[in-house]
Amino acid sequence: MGKFVNNTEEFFKFCEENEVEFVDFRFTDMKGMWHHLTYMMDAVSAEQLENGMPFDGSSVDAWQPINKSDMILKPDVETAFLDPFTADPTIIVFCDVFDIYKGQMYEKCPRSIAKKALTHLSESGVGDVAYFGPENEFFIFDDVKIRDDINESYYRVDSEEGCWSDDTDYEVGNIGHRPRTKGGYFPVQPTDSMVDLRAEMMQVLKQVGLEVVLGHHEVAQGQGEIGIVFGDLIEAADNVQKYKYVVKMVAHLNGKSATFMPKPLFGDNGNGMHVHQSIWKDGKNLFYKEGEYGNLSDMARHYVGGIFKHARAVAAFTNPSTNSYKRLIPGYEAPSILTYSSQNRSASCRIPYGAGEKATRIEMRFPDSTACPYLAFAAMLCAGLDGIKNKYEPIGPMDDDLFELSLDEIRQRKIPQMPHTLRGSLEALIRDNEFLQPVFTQDMIDTYQHYKFETQVWPDESRPTAFEFKSTYSC
């Protein structure tokens, strides 16, 4: 699969062949959320695609002030694909954001930042391409209820797969087949109730240009994953946006709700975004060295060392929600211990089993899908390149089951850990951000951390929870 068009001429030809009536221009904000602006097809010209479309940057969270709000969307026509969900033929085009005031790509546009990260890689002389392969897990729920008020707050998610549904009355009767807590890895039907739904998602993902490999039920109740082929940094991040859009929409059109939230269920596994990474130059995988531990080269090991060195700051981008840290706790296959290991899923960095040069890579297992993929991949690349430059050595390899270690044992062995809260990661980002520059400007970093404090940390810290009432009300 891949591209449907390669240039502007092919774009218009493709639109004509598919009787396209609307062009949907999409861009990504700092949260990783997609925004769109829809034009009539006959209102779009080659000149407009070249010059871009104006929009109001002050209406996007943490972007422009109202007195400097005019910005330009710069379409990347090579990303165009047909929207599989609209009633009228519509083509979607990814866009970057241009700052008319500084005459450059916008420093707070995640996709533009990711492109700067690739330039940084090239200018470093280390490599000419960075490959990323994210694995985004998701939950499918039948019903979602949320209330957040001054005197009460609650959520309730429901799934026929949930063990809590054992005594629920259904019109057709209660089937009784459920994966149970932590019991959802690879059961067949009828325990796996999402086979047809995932199959539809896989077909639609292929339809929009992704190379789909597999789909399966994940460990938790109501949880799934679909595997797609890796790409370069920009392509991989674009694919995450497509993937999340398709999964949510297919679920929605089937009367269900999909979420990539890291920890929607207490006591069961959460959603991760494991990210496979490698750097290549002149067609050669620089992370491969035969005969070394996991066939991992010194460069790859130093890359890991750089991510671990800056992991607490990197986490502000790879795990950017307060809910992220409810996943990064022992016992739920979400590694927070900063060491590496071959084939060991309890380490924060796993070296997957693979035969030969092309398959050798590292897999960071702590990120999750609340991350903006462009910012998360760019931050890890910057940290890894800093590790290569300074030859940082990660702790490890450690082949033990690290989930069995107590907190005291982790401290005694001086193994670094991920931060335990979003506040901790943001405070680390304030102290440690030089490695991100010049890919991330200081203004972008400052804006980002302030925004996360204001919209995530402080609102979360100021709210009482049901558990707090349970544990302290009678004190």
Q: What is the spatial distance between Cα 428 and Cα 241, in angstroms, rounded to a whole number?
A: 27
> What are residue 450's phi and psi, to 5 degrees?
-65, -45
Q: Is 21 annotated as a binding residue?
A: no
Q: Give residue for tokens 């407009």.
A: 48
Residue 363 among known ligand-binding residues: yes
Instruction: Go through 90-103 and write b for each residue having 16 or more CB atoms within 10 A of its CB, e for each that does not.
Output: bbbbbbbbbbeeee
Tell me: is residue 160 an annotated ligand-binding position: no
Greatest extent of the chain over all pairs of C-alpha atoms, in Å? 71
345 annotated ligand binder: yes
Omega of the bond leading into 190 within 30 degrees of 0 (cis): yes
Does the annotation place 218 within a ligand binding site?
yes
152 is in an annotated binding site: no
Instruction: Count CB atoms within 10 A of the CB of residue 11.
Output: 23
**Planar angle of CA 57, 58, 59, nearest 5 degrees:** 90
Say if residue 107 carries a ligand binding annotation: no
Ligand-binding annotation for 235, yes or no, is no
Q: Give 278's strand partners.
A: 131
Is 365 annotated as belonging to a binding site?
A: yes
Is 274 a known ligand-binding residue?
A: yes
- Asked whether residue 423 is marked as a ligand-binding residue, the answer is no
Q: Is 269 annotated as a binding residue?
A: yes
Catalytic residues: 56, 135, 137, 218, 225, 274, 345, 363, 365
326 is in an annotated binding site: no
What values do phi and psi take at 402, rounded to 5? -70, -20
Measured from the Cβ of residue 208, the count of other Cβ atoms closer than 10 Å reads 19
Residue 307 to residue 294: CA distance in whole angstroms: 18
Q: Which of 138, 146, 384 is nearest to 262 (CA)?
A: 138
Among 134, 73, 75, CA closest to 371: 134
- Residues at the binding site for Mg(2+) are 135, 137, 218, 225, 274, 363
- Residues at the binding site are 135, 137, 218, 225, 269-270, 274, 276-278, 327, 333, 345, 358, 363, 365
- Residues at the binding site for ATP are 276-278, 345, 358
- Residues at the binding site for L-glutamate are 269-270, 327, 333, 345, 365
